[in-house]
Structure 1
Amino acid sequence: MSENSLGQPIPHDEEAVVIVGSGAGGGTLAYELTAKGIPCVVLEAGPYLKPEDYENDEWAAFNQMAWLDNRTASGSFRVARDFPNLPAWIVKAVGGSTTHWSGATPRFRAYEFQTRTYYGEIEGANLLDWPITLDDLAPYYDRAEIAIGSTHRHGRPALPANNNYKVFANGAEKIGYRFYATGPYGTNAEPYDGRPASVQDGFNFQGDKSTAKWSTAVREIPRALETGKLDLRPESQAVQVTHDAQGRANAVLYLDKDGNLHRQAARIVCVAGNSIESPRLLLMSASALHPDGLANSSGQLGRNYMRHTTGSVYARFDRPVRMYRGETMAGIVADEARQDTSRGFAGGYYMETLSLGPAFLAAFVDPGSWGPGYTEVLDAYENTAGLWIVGEDMPQETNRVTLNTALKDQWGLPAPDVHFDDHPNDVAMREHGYSRADLMYEAVGAVGTHHTPPYPATHNLGTCRMSARPEDGVVDKWGQAHDVPGLFVSDGSVMTTGAAANPTLTIVALAIRQAERIADQLGKGEL
């Protein structure tokens, strides 16, 4: 074997599992497979940033980490107006958006795997029960929580409360909420698994220099490299998945940082580029056998895009809160994460503490606004507490990722267009969340609150959804394409519905489960 640029052995082409993407799904899959002795090649579009590389400045770090290739947003959702070229706030680097995530690790609830059964028919929503249940995923949730080091789980201690959380929790208690805590989170309260305890530094949306927060760049990728079975190729943009005459996936074509085209032969291909890049790659991989895109016999590829129902509330007080001290997301209220249609909507939502720096608050608090109301929010920064609403949005066939052939990226390839319209259920949920947040803050003396519209998405879900029947989705219960042998999808795009919980824990659990399946089938010669 020769060595790659990182000094790691390069597996023989015919032996390699090729994984596109190194985030929660791809990075976990790479580690789980290489730990079982299975050679893998990981193609990552972004650079390999190390903790010491992260910029300690919001905008500099954003430009260093964010996926800023050409993209467009369309539809009636406000992001298309405010940020037409930035539908998603995700990372282009080794580790993907696990280097940017808040760290929240709630599990999905049993009913959220069976929304068609529990919610019934909701006009305009393309609801479908998952082909798996909570019981199927529960042991993998355990393994994911142990890998991540989730607080409040498996004997892991809780993070200490910061001021932002204390205001939040006191308000929750006063209005009768019962289920609130400083986690579960994937940031260490004490040293664990080779990572240090949090120093309560906050703002690790910009990358965590201390490594107290879990990411695949900190844990899974380095450990996979140590096995000698991983060939990690940063700055490698996948552009096509190919198949043989029988229709079996057999290679990935990719561009290196200089634009040179390479072909990596594959034993199997696992696409884990997130819910925008994964369908984009499969749509660009159309062939005579698959004229509408690879794995798209159902016509569902790219459809049912979800981004969670979100919004933020910032409350002003007459005394300092200093929300920026401590962890960015320091606590969760779970009381509204339930199925209760008496509130006027199906599904539920969480409220989670949130802090932005002055620059990001100015950019996101009310894009396009100005005048006394806007400056009042900024002037009160020291005295401000903040939270984020995150809940289940309805899958809709018309919410989708397509190829924008009128706009090219830096490689001359069609940019993805992300089309999204809020469902009435989403709007009702967001308004309910705003009102409950107002009550929480008013109960502890807020002198004013401000409702911030949704940011560019960090939770991108759907577009390659799981389904029991091939005509209803793109992949089966293991994430394997219904109509392309040897092709798997390994990220949040496989989610049949989005649930209320932050998705990273579920993506990791699904990847661990998928790796077990792939290893078993490879061992039996069935793949």
Structure 2
Amino acid sequence: MATIDEKDPVVVIIGSGAGGGTLAHELTTKGVKCVVLEAGPHLTRDDYENDEWRAFGQMAWLDMRTTSGSWRVAKNFPNLPAWIVKAVGGSTTHWSGATPRFMNHEWKAATTYGKLDGTTLLDWPIGTDDLAPWYDKAEVAMGSTHRHGRPPLPANNNYKVFAAGAEAIGLKYYATGPYATNAEPYDGRPASVQDGFNFQGDKSGAKWSTAVREIPRALETGNLDLRPECQAVRITHDAAGKVDGVEYLDASGALHKQAARVVALAGNSIESPRLLLMSASSLHPDGLANSSGQVGKNYMRHLTASAYAAFDKPVHMYRGETMAGIIADNAINDPNRGFVGGYYMETLSLGVPFMGAFLDPGYWGPDFTRKMDAYDNLAGMWIVGEDMPQETNRVTLNTDVLDQHGLPVPNVHFDDHPNDIAMREHAWKTAEDLYSAVGALWTFRTPPYPSTHNLGTNRMSARPEDGVVNSYGRTHDVENLFISDGSVMTTGASANPTLTIVALAMRQADHILSEMGAGRL
């Protein structure tokens, strides 16, 4: 690992997850010196806990946050709006591994869906053709199954129930992937041992993450200075308005400043707008790169609901991959269903502790114990759907509540749009029909829980007044400041976002290298 002087203006990347870790790898392997500031510790596979509660305490971002709005999370988990990771690798160390691409219509949501009251729908400034080669590159790097000759994962019992139900009700597009978990050894990673615990900290290394692939390879170049347990607290700029450094607190609480030639912010859709808002100055009184007033707005989190069914025989849904298959039939746009946009159905198994926590928070009694007692006989799925961007769904600074560093915490406000509610209801009903068609004794729904897909808040736009960044994630206001995470998403689409974040980061790295070569950065 390189040791870079804090006065040396280099590329400073804030965050090491799907976007930040990928960007660091792409730049350092091309000879560019980078500092990565990561708020969490550097956990490796030897550190990971194969126990849900201990793993949650070890990895989750548990700094104080507040929540408002009518969503269930504000009532049930008021200080945990998002279930994301605070560690090197970010939430790529705790994810399902699903890697579907955006569909063509999802890049042009405003044009496709038309005017929808209460939304801030906007077409992306890029489309399928722009991202296709980067999707290819990302899938190869991540080892996506069902892609580029990669074999599929074997079907577990949860998937067999799922697929049989899909066939029984006439659904056609179901498969055991694509997932970025190896079915056979690939790219220095072993094959999956079908261990559900690789969902949160993969001790085997079969599942792709930037902690397993990109960060170690970037360190091997000698061009990366990785600084874990370093919380960025302010991005600074010079008199001309160009960013020139990042102030951060180290593990002891000491304040430092790393000089920067370029800053790439990849802190996720909550921390990234928070940092821009905390970096307000006389030139940027409403927050850095916020002349549009769009920083923090249009927060999206997908539908994030689930459904389960009890059978007369054991399913053992927890054996094998936690997420082992996808149904794509309803990811299309068909307004005749009563909503625009679409959703995926994906197999899901939560361990006993989280099943108890997320079944229906605050819920108890005979019906609750009946469901928990049926655990071995349950099959389950998660519903991943496109929620609508709304200006009022946003991340703001809560100056009444301070974190452990004395800084204002982010407040996450969210209300469902009527389109979200209609889509979730359709998805729940489809799940119930699917399970009933293969003999379920009874089914039940679980409400949305803390967000694992956090999108928007620094959205990409063709016009500066409509968003925060351009088609390369470069902020409209500050030429050497980039955003490299899911917060740039103009709309959320129905796909799990990690593949798209990685592809966008690869495309962004190519652009940064080109601009550096031309002397413009």
Distance in 2 separating the partners of 1:58 and 1:92:
16
73, 78, 101: which one aligns with 1:84: 78
1:520 paired residue number: 514
1:477 paired residue number: 471
CA contact (8 A) 1:11 1:229 kept: no
If the length of structure 1 is used for normalisation, what is the TM-score?
A: 0.98
Which residue identity does 2:432 align to in structure 1? Answer: D
1:160 paired residue number: 154
Is residue 446 of structure 1 aligned with residue 440 of structure 2? yes
Aligned counterparts, 1:316-465, within 5 A: 316-465=310-459
Q: Deviations over 1:292-316 (max 9, x none)?
A: 0001100110000000112100100
Once the two structures are TM-superposed, the CA of residue 206 in structure 1 deviates from its matched residue by: 2.1
2:197 paired residue number: 203
Identity of aligned residues (%): 74
Q: Deviations over 1:155-209 (max 9, x none)?
A: 0000000000000000000000000000000000000000000000113232100
Distance in 1 separating the partners of 2:255 and 2:354:
38
2:18 paired residue number: 24
Which residue identity does 1:170 align to in structure 2? Answer: A
CA contact (8 A) 1:58 1:360 kept: yes
Once the two structures are TM-superposed, the CA of residue 13 in structure 1 deviates from its matched residue by: 4.0
28, 48, 51: which one aligns with 1:54: 48
Q: Give SS of 2:112's match.
A: helix
Distance in 2 separating the partners of 1:11 and 1:190:
42
Once the two structures are TM-superposed, the CA of residue 485 in structure 1 deviates from its matched residue by: 2.0
1:263 paired residue number: 257
290, 306, 326: which one aligns with 1:296: 290
CA contact (8 A) 1:11 1:40 kept: no
CA contact (8 A) 2:6 2:257 kept: no
113, 121, 124: which one aligns with 1:119: 113
Distance in 1 separating the partners of 2:370 and 2:339:
33
Q: Deviations over 1:194-242 (max 9, x none)?
A: 0000000113232100000000000000000000000000000000000
* Structure 1, unaligned runs of 5 or more: 1-6
CA contact (8 A) 1:237 1:256 kept: yes
63, 66, 82: which one aligns with 2:57: 63
1:180 paired residue number: 174
Please give the root-mean-square deviation of Cα atoms over the aligned residues, in Å. 0.7
Distance in 2 separating the partners of 1:59 and 1:347:
35
Distance in 2 separating the partners of 1:194 and 1:9:
27
2:185 paired residue number: 191
Which residue identity does 1:364 align to in structure 2? Answer: F
Distance in 2 separating the partners of 1:208 and 1:163:
21
CA contact (8 A) 1:11 1:230 kept: no
Q: Deviations over 1:302-333 (max 9, x none)?
A: 00000011210010001000000000000000
CA contact (8 A) 1:18 1:42 kept: yes
2:126 paired residue number: 132
CA contact (8 A) 2:6 2:258 kept: no
Q: Give SS of 2:270's match.
A: helix
Q: 1:12 to 1:402 in 2, by over 3 A?
A: closer
Distance in 2 separating the partners of 1:205 and 1:77:
26
Distance in 1 separating the partners of 2:200 and 2:128:
33
Distance in 2 separating the partners of 1:15 and 1:135:
35
Which residue identity does 2:519 align to in structure 1? Answer: G
Q: Deviations over 1:88-139 (max 9, x none)?
A: 0000000000000100000001110000100000000100000001110000
2:490 paired residue number: 496
* Structure 2, unaligned runs of 5 or more: none
2:93 paired residue number: 99
Distance in 1 separating the partners of 2:357 and 2:304:
17
- Greater displacement, 200-209 / 498-507: 200-209
Q: Give SS of 1:268's match.
A: strand
Distance in 1 separating the partners of 2:97 and 2:55:
18
Once the two structures are TM-superposed, the CA of residue 10 in structure 1 deviates from its matched residue by: 2.2
Once the two structures are TM-superposed, the CA of residue 11 in structure 1 deviates from its matched residue by: 5.9
| Residues matched between the structures, number | 521
Is residue 10 of structure 1 aligned with residue 1 of structure 2? no
Once the two structures are TM-superposed, the CA of residue 15 in structure 1 deviates from its matched residue by: 4.3
Distance in 1 separating the partners of 2:89 and 2:268:
12
If the length of structure 2 is used for normalisation, what is the TM-score?
A: 0.99
Aligned counterparts, 1:274-313, within 5 A: 274-313=268-307
Once the two structures are TM-superposed, the CA of residue 338 in structure 1 deviates from its matched residue by: 0.2
CA contact (8 A) 2:292 2:468 kept: yes
Q: Give SS of 1:266's match.
A: strand
Which residue identity does 2:268 align to in structure 1? Answer: N
Q: Deviations over 1:319-352 (max 9, x none)?
A: 0000000000000000000010000000000000
Once the two structures are TM-superposed, the CA of residue 77 in structure 1 deviates from its matched residue by: 0.4
CA contact (8 A) 2:325 2:346 kept: yes
